[in-house]
């Protein structure tokens, strides 16, 4: 998580998410990274820390959302965009909706655990309170390769 908001441009946001994913891999965590951006300012950024924090909710998206909420002093991230290297799971997709994220950008789809374009497709549910604009497939090949390499090394 970030302690101080930093200026950034939207194209740089996905690069920052990849930096967080690679840092997570170096810590032995599943390499997923996320960045929350508003008006060119990074409000929160994180990589997975479930093992380190012994917390099943410590996904990159959750930690980045928490950091952004803390940075602006609100549970609503109106006008914010989230960049993440992997399609969010059901927990993260719900948190993205509750936070009122404006746009969700993600890298690789996740046929097994995703909840946006795969699985439960949370944002298609009539009970979903807020639906962000969704843009999948950003640097998809690179994101998928990062995950494949990580898991290949552990088998």
Residue ranges of the binding site for Zn(2+): 59, 89, 92
Q: What DSSP string describes 97-153? A: HHTT-SEEEEEE--TTT-SSSSTT-GGGSTT-S---EEE--TTHHHHHHHHHHHHHH
Catalytically annotated residue among 61, 117, 124, 133 = 61
Q: Give the whole-angstrom CA distance, residue 138 versus residue 140.
A: 5
Element (H, E) at 36: strand 33-38
61 classed as catalytic: yes
CB atoms within 10 A of CB 109: 17
First to last CA, the chain: 30
Residue 26 DSSP code: H
Residue 16 DSSP code: H
Q: List, by residue number, the catalytic residues.
A: 61
């Amino acid at each position: 998580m970030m302690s101080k908001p930093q200026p950034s441009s939207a194209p740089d946001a996905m690069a920052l998410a990849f930096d967080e994913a690679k840092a997570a891999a170096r810590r032995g965590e599943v390499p997923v990274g996320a960045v929350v951006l508003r008006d060119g300012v990074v409000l929160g950024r994180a990589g997975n820390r479930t093992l380190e924090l012994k917390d099943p909710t410590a996904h990159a998206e959750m930690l980045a959302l928490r950091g952004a909420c803390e940075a602006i002093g609100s549970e609503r991230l109106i006008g914010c965009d989230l960049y993440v290297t992997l399609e969010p799971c059901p927990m993260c997709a719900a948190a993205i909706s509750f936070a009122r994220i404006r746009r969700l950008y993600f890298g690789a789809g996740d046929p097994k655990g995703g909840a946006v374009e795969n699985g439960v497709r949370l944002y298609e549910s009539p009970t979903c309170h807020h639906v962000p604009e969704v843009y999948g497939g950003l640097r998809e090949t690179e994101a998928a390769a990062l995950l494949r390499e990580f898991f290949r090394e552990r088998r």
